[in-house]
Chain A
Amino acid sequence: MFITNTETLPGKTIIDCFGVVSGSTVRAKHVGRDIMAGLKNVFGGELRGYTELLNESRDQALQRMTDQAAQLGANAIVNVRFSTSSVAAGAAEIYVYGTAVRVE
């Protein structure tokens, strides 16, 4: 599966279009990670636990989008965008969407 965030796939020709596909995950805080983050809060700097959490949920959202595109018979997704929104206190959604296409 080719995934890009440009309108076209560089070096390839789009022959068929299947419409918008999307994937999302909602993630919440983790108590253990929160305690470490509380300590880190004094010194500042990177919150590694949260970075990992962000990476995992982003990968999962991408995977869900890819699965949906594969079901439609596409072999590429173009014009991918990431978006985040807060749904409740302490929880947020990572949403990824793009256009499923077939390339030569």
Chain B
Amino acid sequence: MIAFLGFITLLLLGFFVGRYLESRHFSSIRQREAELVVLPNTNSRYQLIPMQQIERSELVTGSVVISIDYFKRIVAGLRSLIGGPVQSYETLLDRARREAILRMKESCPGACQIINVRVETSSIYNAAGNGIGSVELLAYGTAIYGQVQATNGL
């Protein structure tokens, strides 16, 4: 009985607190994305904006480890019985990717553009090991500093 109550408490905590934290994180992501829209990034290896003069370029990275809440983990477990889209993991991956790319952008203030962006996903603390459904995201690219050519461009 006590175990059952504990389970219900964890479910409710996960549902309410997890949902609140996630929506707060998403609103922070949206706000920062709007602020950083001036720094374009591309996964093409060619420059997105023609540069008049390149001062320097450097490797920039951003990474994050995000875990799923208890409620969503149980729901995902149930979902795997019948198959179909696992929505709870979709939002987890979405916010982790966007956060990693935002951190990469934030790590190079003053840059004109980031080219050749790659995103790497991994999970060493997987559900089979210790029951933590978490995902590690690493985004990296080449930041270019310098003067942008005066065109109407993009």
Contacts and interface: CB of A to CB of B under 8 A. Distances in A.
Interface string B127-154: 0011111101010111010100000000
Contacts of B65: 46-47, 50-51, 54
Interface in B55-69: 55-59, 61, 63-69
A82 B66 contact: no
A21 to B, nearest CB: 14
A65 B25 CA distance: 35
Contacts, number: 132
Contacts of A92: 122, 124
Nearest to B70: A42
A48 to B, nearest CB: 8
Contacts of B17: 42-43
A84 B120 CA distance: 8
A34 interface: yes
Contact of A51 (B51, B56, B63, B92): B63
Contacts of A3: 58-59
A42 B116 contact: no
A81 B18 contact: no
B10 interface: yes
A10 B122 contact: no
Interface residues of B, number: 51
A71 interface: no
A91 B21 CA distance: 29
B32 interface: no
Contacts of B68: 44
Contacts of B63: 51, 54-55, 58
Interface in A45-76: 45-47, 50-51, 54-55, 58, 62
Most buried by A among B51, B58, B72, B122: B122
B66 A90 contact: no
Nearest to B61: A58
21 contacts: A3-B58, A4-B57, A4-B116, A5-B59, A6-B142, A11-B55, A37-B67, A37-B132, A41-B69, A41-B73, A41-B133, A42-B18, A44-B22, A44-B92, A47-B134, A51-B63, A51-B65, A54-B65, A55-B63, A80-B59, A84-B120
